[in-house]
Structure 1
Amino acid sequence: MEEEKPWVLISEVGGDHGYLAELADIVKQHFHIICYKELLENPELYGPKVQALLNWKFCPVVEPELLRLLPSLKVVASGGVGVDHLDVPFINSLGVKVANTPGVVSDSTADLAMALLLASARRILEGHQVAIDPKTVLIPQRLMGVEVTNASLGIIGMGEIGHKIAQRAKGFDMKIVYHNRRRRSAEDERAVGAKFCESLDELLGRSDFVMVAVKLTAETRGLIGHRELSIMKPTATLVNISRGQVVDQNALVDALQSGRIRAAALDVTHPEPLPRDHPLLGLPSVLITPHIGINTFTTARRMVERMVRNARAAVEGSPVPDEVKLQ
């Protein structure tokens, strides 16, 4: 029955931070939807009804002020893998579970990682701009890129996404090395032809392309800084699809301006978007996309379906399939 559906809080339908209509329809099959703006307009009416919060593209921001308005909340179901935007211990202290959507985003993120690598290597964006420029009458010879086939790829963080990146890189006959907290199994390594580097420094010194695919933690914040960039080859490219805070952006600007590395391709920055006068935006050797690793219709639909599944389980008192449990 329609009136028996539980209530869920979302950001909005449509808008810059909201759900596409077809995605909102998935939620509506299982929940009464309350949008963040509606909640703020009448918190006394809607707050006590909300049992689940769907955190899509980091919105609505899950902060103590919001949680105090939701006394019946049972779960914060977040889309994506990373939960660095959530204070999981604090949320759990309120008796509220946290869930994410592992695995769902891996293929689309790995696809974009390779797209960034290829586009940067072959200077696709610059080529496009030349091709459409009304002043272009001759194709300049200066658009020389670097080879991807047979190049060395160093993957920092060989989790599910890192392993899928390696699968794709194998198709380009790339020489794959990786560094991870724990070494993958010999079977996993053989499947993609990857070799383990005991140290990050070893990987940085060997790689033509350095791919950062780690979770943001206290240990990985600022993982790539001045020292690490100085170890990379001057012909190397840094690709970051993890979180912007993993790379010291000031150090990256210095490395690019001084020619210590060739280029950078970033799907993530800090903040997002960058201030319009940020020096990274003016460097021709930098390619930036606006955190679109998961932005495909297929992945978005699967994410919302998984968020709904987690939220329903929590509301019904069943085990939450993708509950985040910090060690």
Structure 2
Amino acid sequence: MEVLIVEPLEQRALDWLGKRRAVHLDPSLASDPRRFEALLARARAVVVPPTMAMDARLLLSAPGLRAVGRLEGGPGTIDLITCESAGIAVVQPAGAGSVAEAEFATAAMLQLLRRVPVHEGHGVFVGRELSSSTVGIVGMSPTARLLSQLAGNFGARVVGYDPALHASDLAWRQAGIRPVPLVELLETCDVVVVLLAYYSRYHGLLGERLLESCKRDQVMVCLSPAALFDEAALAAALKSGRIAAAWFDRLEPGWLDPGRPLSEVDTLHVTPRLAPSTREARARGAWALVRRLDSLLGVADPQAAFSETVPDVLVGLAGGPAPA
């Protein structure tokens, strides 16, 4: 067995990989850790769902392992330090869900602006239009570039911030985003969309000092892990009305439990990681994933017949043309 797959993938991508490699598919392994570990010990590559942790003990129990793949959810539960020291590649499709996420974020912005009215005086509460708003994007990702285009098409002004990207970088201009300091972004934007990749050094980045400076009646959409926020500071900003409403597409376990700061905040809307979960995004991601795994594993059986290719609709979206 070369490739152990626990997370279901697009069938045509699996068929293509199965013609090149010895593939074992078994989603039930996600709830059977003993059997999973026994099979992992014989695998050269594995694809696991975001619910499965790949810690040092597990990774080192598979001496032949060369790659860990994940379709979505980020590498948060994969021990990256152990992977690096053991020469194990961590593979995730880059940008496969960008279109889906940009569409989702746009829909969330429109809903929050229209359905969370602001007080205009004399007892009048009204919704707002995206076309007259300033949108701040935190995190320059492939999704950010697409979102900038969509927001710009509505007539919105778009600014952005990324701690890892200098303000002089050409990427900002190419994306149509004006780079600004994070404090300025929070102070001036009507809408903030958080797309920043999570690393431990960013834990609690959006804390009390920054959230207290948010523009009044701001709405916020977050597709990143909620750990980027300080839990208590976010709750305080929502309860005070400084942030009129927030939409998180994932939330840390327990953050809504009774007694926690966010437990009874009715202006917080939470969805279970819906942004990238489209048929098209999963297909693009599956093709990108299997092609990269195949490449990492080296030369396949030269006698194998490879007739399956990436469907035309996915060429260019799954990382380029299909392999022969």
Which TM-score band applies after superposition, normalised by the shorter structure? 0.7 to 0.9
Identity of aligned residues (%): 24
1:214 paired with 2:204, answer no
Classify 1:284/1:42 alpha carbon distance in 2 versus 1 (closer, same or farther; 3 Å). closer
Mapped to 2, the partners of 1:100 and 1:26 lie a distance apart of 15
> For the Cα contact (< 8 Å) 2:101–2:143, is it kept in 1?
yes
> Counterparts in 2 of 1:94-243, with a 5 A limit?
94-123=86-115, 144-180=126-162, 181-183=165-167, 185=169, 188-189=172-173, 192=176, 194-197=177-180, 199-243=181-225
1:271 paired with 2:247, answer no
Per-residue CA deviations over 1:94-128 (Å, capped at 9, x if unaligned) read 2322122112121111111112111211228x9xx
Classify 1:202/1:7 alpha carbon distance in 2 versus 1 (closer, same or farther; 3 Å). closer
1:286 paired with 2:244, answer no
Task: Specify the SS of the correspondent of 1:8.
Answer: strand
> Counterparts in 2 of 1:70-109, with a 5 A limit?
70-80=62-72, 82-109=74-101
Unaligned runs of 5+ in 1: 12-18, 127-140, 323-327
Per-residue CA deviations over 1:167-221 (Å, capped at 9, x if unaligned) read 11001111111122323656852663x3221x21111111111111111123322
| TM-score for both structures, normalised by structure 2 | 0.78
The two structures, once aligned, show a CA RMSD in angstroms of 3.0
Task: Specify the SS of the correspondent of 2:193.
Answer: strand
Q: Post-superposition shift, 1:306?
A: 1.6
> For the Cα contact (< 8 Å) 1:123–1:143, is it kept in 2?
no
Q: Post-superposition shift, 1:53?
A: 1.0
| TM-score for both structures, normalised by structure 1 | 0.77
Classify 1:28/1:298 alpha carbon distance in 2 versus 1 (closer, same or farther; 3 Å). same
The amino acid across from 1:8 in the alignment is L
Residues paired across the two proteins, number: 288
Mapped to 1, the partners of 2:36 and 2:69 lie a distance apart of 23
> For the Cα contact (< 8 Å) 1:7–1:49, is it kept in 2?
no
Classify 1:86/1:182 alpha carbon distance in 2 versus 1 (closer, same or farther; 3 Å). farther
Task: Specify the SS of the correspondent of 1:32.
Answer: strand
> For the Cα contact (< 8 Å) 1:153–1:177, is it kept in 2?
yes
Per-residue CA deviations over 1:67-104 (Å, capped at 9, x if unaligned) read 24423211101224843332222112223221221121
Unaligned runs of 5+ in 2: 118-122, 301-317, 320-324
Could you list the runs of 4 or more consecutive aligned residues of structure 1 that deviate by over 3 angstroms after TM superposition?
A: 41-44, 141-144, 184-188, 272-282
The amino acid across from 1:264 in the alignment is A
Correspondent of 1:313 among 282, 295, 315:
295
Stretch moving more, 27-36 or 183-192: 183-192
Mapped to 1, the partners of 2:188 and 2:32 lie a distance apart of 54
> For the Cα contact (< 8 Å) 1:39–1:47, is it kept in 2?
no
Mapped to 2, the partners of 1:235 and 1:264 lie a distance apart of 11
Q: Post-superposition shift, 1:142?
A: 8.7
Mapped to 2, the partners of 1:149 and 1:168 lie a distance apart of 11
Mapped to 2, the partners of 1:98 and 1:246 lie a distance apart of 22
> For the Cα contact (< 8 Å) 2:135–2:159, is it kept in 1?
yes
Mapped to 2, the partners of 1:42 and 1:298 lie a distance apart of 29
Q: Post-superposition shift, 1:303?
A: 1.1
The amino acid across from 2:69 in the alignment is A
The amino acid across from 2:2 in the alignment is P
Mapped to 2, the partners of 1:289 and 1:301 lie a distance apart of 22
Q: Post-superposition shift, 1:38?
A: 5.9
1:66 paired with 2:58, answer yes
Stretch moving more, 203-212 or 270-279: 270-279
The amino acid across from 1:40 in the alignment is R
Mapped to 2, the partners of 1:8 and 1:116 lie a distance apart of 37
The amino acid across from 1:74 in the alignment is R
> For the Cα contact (< 8 Å) 1:7–1:34, is it kept in 2?
no
The amino acid across from 1:205 in the alignment is E
Task: Specify the SS of the correspondent of 1:165.
Answer: helix
